[in-house]
Structure 1
Amino acid sequence: MSLTQTSERARRRDYRIPLGILLFSVALAAPFIGSRYVVHALIIALVFMLPAHGLNLLVGYTGLLSLAQAAFFGIGAYTAGLLAIGYGTPFYVNAVVAGLAAGAVALPLGVPALRLRSTSFVMCTLGFVIIGQAIAKNWISVTRGDMGLSGIPKPYFELGPLSFTVGGTTGFYYLALAIGILATLAVFAVVRSPAGRNMVAIRENETLAESLGVPTWHYKLIVFMLSAVFAGVGGSLYAHYLTVVSPLTFQMYYSTTMLIIVLGGGAGMISGTIFGSLLFVGLTEALRITPELRMIAYGLCLLVLVFWFKQGFAPVINRVWNAIGGAK
């Protein structure tokens, strides 16, 4: 082998595996590296990454712009809170039931909504958030109205003879990290499956996909429900972390935040959702102690996004990742 070939091979060496191990190690060591407040910011980012993953399936892979994630996020939070307070059920039961409840509510809402097109569908999903907040405020016998649910216990696990409670910021961080990794792997499995390819086909040209035999409406309904399940699980994590749920959980701010995560990170890219959650939620949450700097940093991120990264930050991340892998 010539010197030139050896040099070229060295330049193409794949460094992605060691870098991935390094990033994973940093994620595991975060509670011991950063302050308690930084860990809190990371937890909030991981919580919002779950509904953002679901929204990315809907917006990024299927091409349906929805503002309803806050409604399903709130349903999941209230479901988990009511189960934990009223029945003392373990966390994993609350999380599963919260996700299923959000998905079940999405079914009757999605049947008429998905027959609408473009802006009509967007406005309809916005209405779900408004209705959800109104129900949370006025169904006082269940939701306690504006007082909300308080005293939600920390995550409790019961595995045969073994039972324990996840307490403290560090313990909850590892729980949120584990759920975030599982959610990311689930999304990866979906988008790499034949169903994922059909979702992309619907996004690119729904009429052509339908002419090729893809049941487009059924796919859209399933993805709409699946996105709600992710939001519901995220809501359960949110409820157990803050131990308080109120009608503000349904606020439109949460829907727009999830949408900014997806569009800003890079719609249709898993790496974009992860990066967007850390940037648009984790960073702004970490800067909450300095409100003026926080809003300036948030505004600058949006300006940079609009003018220089119109497809989000994920394409740049992927190019860097491929370069580290030795791709030309």
Structure 2
Amino acid sequence: MSSTTLDMPRMPISRLATVNWGASALALAALLAAPLFLGDYYLHAMILAMIFLLPALGLNLILGYTGMLSLAQGVFFGIGAYGSALLSIHFGTPFLVNFLAAGLLAGLVALPLGIPALRLRDTSFVMCTLGLVVIAQMVSKNWVDLTRGDMGLSGVPRPKLGFGETAYIILRAPEYYYLILALALLVVFAFVALIKSPAGRCMIAIRDNETLAESLGIPTWTYKLIVFMLSAVFAGLGGSLYAHFSTVVSPLVFQSYYSNTILIIVLGGGVGRLPGAIIGSFVFVAVSEALRITPELRMVIYGFVLLGLVFVFPQGLAPLVQRLTGALARIGFKHGEPHDGH
């Protein structure tokens, strides 16, 4: 049977690739225009939302489309951050090289970890990924020669596009914003292409009924290993963006806080839905930033917000947003109908 551990929505295959292009175009236009109207603080929050979108897409892939709950996304996020930071500090490599290398490194680390972990089922797999978080924390603190321990890596270079003296260095918040927006869009397109492919349909089959998928000739374990690696790649790419944006990487990046944040984004946005991680990343980063006005009660209020969401929107915010956009589209179509001369 499937290794699903949460009550996830069961999407029919025919709806797998459904995209509301009108709503997507409006959202993209708003994102492109945001730096014209928002100050640096709000741009900072939106940049963080897009950074966390990448590991959230990876978790949505492994949880929503394969049915495996992994708590190790923060580990691969941190590996990508450290990998990108070390490359830029010691070798001065361009940002795009660091970005791709961070994703590749996270995927390669996930390979030997996933081979034994994916032999486990349900809660055993979840506990195994939780153990990876603890191991990563200890390694990052004690491998001082590489990570500098608790001091971390500071002075991570700003993103540099190009080579030599002609390279352009990203310094201002709007420049960061457009760079990360462009990369996030590319990753989203790659995610959509993956789940629309025949491989995406095999993932759904594994999620819904692994035994039946095996009887149909789908190599389920191989697919799960590939998905585990791809989810790590998404997280590593996000870690690279984080390292070059914050310019500091420390063992704190391996804390369970990051994995929990990624999980909240996916569950709150909507598991196994195309816009789920996108909606969740912007909404929950916005809520977290808005609560900075009450630092003493910030986490308490944030917890109550999450509890309210669970009871009011148990399937996440994506179904609500999809219903609203669908209703607006129907209203627009109704007003645009011909009146037959009356």
Q: Distance in 2 between matches of 1:282 and 1:56?
A: 20
Q: Where do residues 246-325 of structure 1 align in structure 2 (5 Å cutoff)? A: 246-292=250-296, 294-295=298-299, 297-325=301-329
Q: Are positions 1:73 and 2:48 aligned together?
A: no
Larger mean Cα displacement after TM superposition, 282-291 or 238-247: 282-291
Larger mean Cα displacement after TM superposition, 28-37 or 66-75: 28-37
Q: Partner letter of residue 102 of structure 1?
A: A
Q: Are positions 1:241 and 2:245 aligned together?
A: yes
213 and 178 in structure 1: CA distance in 2 versus 1, 3 angstrom threshold? same
Q: Which residue of the partner structure matches residue 84 of structure 1?
A: 88
Q: Distance in 2 between matches of 1:124 and 1:299?
A: 26
136 and 264 in structure 1: CA distance in 2 versus 1, 3 angstrom threshold? same
Give the C-alpha shift of residue 35 in structure 1.
2.1
Q: Distance in 1 between matches of 2:315 and 2:297?
A: 26
Equivalenced residues, count: 313
Q: Which residue of the partner structure matches residue 59 of structure 2?
A: 55
Q: Distance in 1 between matches of 2:284 and 2:201?
A: 28
Q: Distance in 2 between matches of 1:31 and 1:213?
A: 50
Q: Distance in 1 between matches of 2:176 and 2:105?
A: 23
* Percent identity (aligned): 61
Give the C-alpha shift of residue 283 in structure 1.
2.8
Question: What whole-Å deviation, never above 9, does each CA across 1:222-251 have from its counterpart, x for those lacking one?
Answer: 000000000001000000000000000000
Q: Which residue of the partner structure matches residue 175 of structure 1?
A: 179
Structure with the higher helix share, 1 or 2? 1
Contact 1:72 1:232 in 2 (8 A): yes
* Secondary structure, counterpart of 1:325 in structure 2: helix
Question: What whole-Å deviation, never above 9, does each CA across 1:261-306 have from its counterpart, x for those lacking one?
Answer: 1111100012111110011123312432432564455234312221
Q: Which residue of the partner structure matches residue 3 of structure 1?
A: none
Q: Partner letter of residue 51 of structure 2?
A: V
Contact 1:38 1:286 in 2 (8 A): no
Contact 1:53 1:270 in 2 (8 A): no
Q: Distance in 2 between matches of 1:106 and 1:19?
A: 35
Q: Which residue of the partner structure matches residue 148 of structure 1?
A: 152
Contact 2:23 2:325 in 1 (8 A): no
Q: Which residue of the partner structure matches residue 231 of structure 1?
A: 235
Larger mean Cα displacement after TM superposition, 207-216 or 172-181: 172-181
CA RMSD of aligned residues (A): 1.8
Question: What whole-Å deviation, never above 9, does each CA across 1:55-84 have from its counterpart, x for those lacking one?
Answer: 000001100000000110110000000000
Larger mean Cα displacement after TM superposition, 18-27 or 60-69: 18-27
Contact 1:44 1:282 in 2 (8 A): no
* Secondary structure, counterpart of 1:131 in structure 2: helix
102 and 28 in structure 1: CA distance in 2 versus 1, 3 angstrom threshold? same
Contact 1:54 1:228 in 2 (8 A): yes
Contact 1:280 1:298 in 2 (8 A): no
Contact 1:157 1:164 in 2 (8 A): yes
Q: Partner letter of residue 224 of structure 1?
A: F
Question: What whole-Å deviation, never above 9, does each CA across 1:83-110 have from its counterpart, x for those lacking one?
Answer: 0000110000001111000000000000
Gaps of 5+ in 2: 1-19, 335-342
Q: Distance in 2 between matches of 1:91 and 1:317?
A: 35
Larger mean Cα displacement after TM superposition, 31-40 or 93-102: 31-40
Q: Distance in 1 between matches of 2:190 and 2:141?
A: 34
Q: Are positions 1:137 and 2:147 aligned together?
A: no
Q: Partner letter of residue 287 of structure 1?
A: L
Q: Which residue of the partner structure matches residue 184 of structure 1?
A: 188
Q: Distance in 1 between matches of 2:21 and 2:187?
A: 21
Q: Distance in 1 between matches of 2:93 and 2:146?
A: 18
Q: Partner letter of residue 206 of structure 1?
A: E
Q: Are positions 1:24 and 2:28 aligned together?
A: yes
18 and 311 in structure 1: CA distance in 2 versus 1, 3 angstrom threshold? closer
Give the C-alpha shift of residue 17 in structure 1.
5.6
319 and 97 in structure 1: CA distance in 2 versus 1, 3 angstrom threshold? same
Q: Distance in 1 between matches of 2:313 and 2:243?
A: 34
85 and 161 in structure 1: CA distance in 2 versus 1, 3 angstrom threshold? closer
Give the C-alpha shift of residue 115 in structure 1.
0.3
Gaps of 5+ in 1: 1-15
Q: Which residue of the partner structure matches residue 217 of structure 1?
A: 221
